[in-house]
Amino acid sequence: MPECLRRESPVGGRRRGPFGTLWYRLVRCGTVWSSTCCSRVAVYRREVEVYLDLLSQPCRAVHILLTRTKIPHRIHSVALRKGEHRTSEFSKLNPMQKVPVLVDGGFILTESDAILKYLATTFDIPEHWYPWQPERRARVDEYMAWHHSNTRPHAAKVFILEVLLPAQLGVPVDQRRLDRALSDLDVTLERLESMFLQRQAFLCGDDITVADLLAVCELMQPLGSGRDILKDRPQLQRWRSRVQSAVGESFDDAHAVLFAVRDRRRARL
């Protein structure tokens, strides 16, 4: 049920709000319901389509949210390494030729931030993923804005220098550039601990949110080269373990391709 139709009981439980009976009738009929007073829409028996490459960190975040919350979906694999994102067919979905892409009926949406928030506010999934309370939601938005100029570029650069460029160009790792990238990443990890984790279990509070999914998928990426960038950071290790526990099998399912890359590299060493 949309959060605006619920009412908190004095002991923190939930009971039907004044429109609860109407809501349940709509659900039983399989009706799509929306209101100008509430942007949340619960939709039943509909399936979204997503275009993903699970070597992509943002794609993994979307995949985890879909599978963990059991949102009905169909996955179309787009192999970036094969250039499938550059085909004319895919370019019609996203002229920027990037993944992930979501298709919901006739509605096409790109960018992982937008997709995660759309799913969390369109489907009736647990509220903690993208809170409705303004201050809590603002904390999620705060991290996600910070993520794209800090966590994402710095973690991704390590993977690019250690895995992608040597594989694509057949060149050895540029150790000087890698050392510089690791130094920049270390600053980001320090700020993650001091600015976001502090004394709370997850990045934006005591419950997991879509912000944690974006962050953990990004920080897992260097594992493709066998490098665990959190091995000397117990606070971030504990956070990662909490995220893994919170999403269960969805974590390993989303990272299976990355783990396979890591294992192939180890076998060659």
Find, among 69, 75, 50, 74, the residue nearest to 124 by Cα: 69
Comparing 15-24, 135-144, 216-225, the range with the smallest average pLDDT is 15-24
Mean pLDDT of 197-213: 97
- Taking a C-beta distance cutoff of 8 angstroms, is the pair 192, 231 a contact? no
Instruction: Give the CA dihedral 209, 108, 152, 58, nearest 10 degrees.
Output: 60
- Give the containing element (helix H, strand E) for 176: helix 175-191
Residue found under tokens 């705060």: 142
What is the C-alpha separation between 123 and 33, in angstroms, rounded?
Answer: 11
Find, among 3, 246, 28, the residue nearest to 124 by Cα: 3
Predicted pLDDT of residue 266: 82
Mean pLDDT of 133-157: 98
More reliable by pLDDT, 259 or 45: 259
215-252 pLDDT tens trace: 999 999 999 889 999 999 999 999 999 999 999 999 99
Mean pLDDT of 13-33: 37
Token pair, residue 253, equals 């399912």
* Long-range CB contacts for residues 78-81, cutoff 8 Å, separation at least 24: 78/51, 78/52, 78/53, 79/53, 80/53, 80/55, 80/56, 81/55
Domains of the chain: 1-45 (no CATH), 48-127 (3.40.30.10), 128-268 (1.20.1050.10)
What is the C-alpha separation between 261 and 161, in angstroms, rounded?
Answer: 15
Q: What is the value of pTM for the model shown?
A: 0.84
Predicted pLDDT of residue 45: 52
* 129 SS3 class: helix
29-78 pLDDT tens trace: 333 433 333 444 444 458 999 999 999 999 999 999 999 999 999 999 99
Predicted pLDDT of residue 46: 84
Provide the mean pLDDT of the chain. Answer: 87
- The distance of Cα 228 from the centroid of its chain, to the nearest Å, equals 19
According to DSSP, the β-strands at 6-8 and 14-16 are antiparallel
**Facing residues of 158 across strands?**
none
Mean pLDDT of 169-173: 93
Predicted pLDDT of residue 265: 81
Predicted pLDDT of residue 267: 84
Cis peptide before 100 (omega within 30 of 0): yes
- Taking a C-beta distance cutoff of 8 angstroms, is the pair 217, 61 a contact? yes
More reliable by pLDDT, 81 or 12: 81
Under DSSP, the state recorded for 231 is T
More reliable by pLDDT, 86 or 225: 86
Is the pLDDT score of 114 beyond 70? Answer: yes
> Cβ neighbours of residue 26 under 8 Å, at least 6 residues apart?
33
* 10 SS3 class: coil
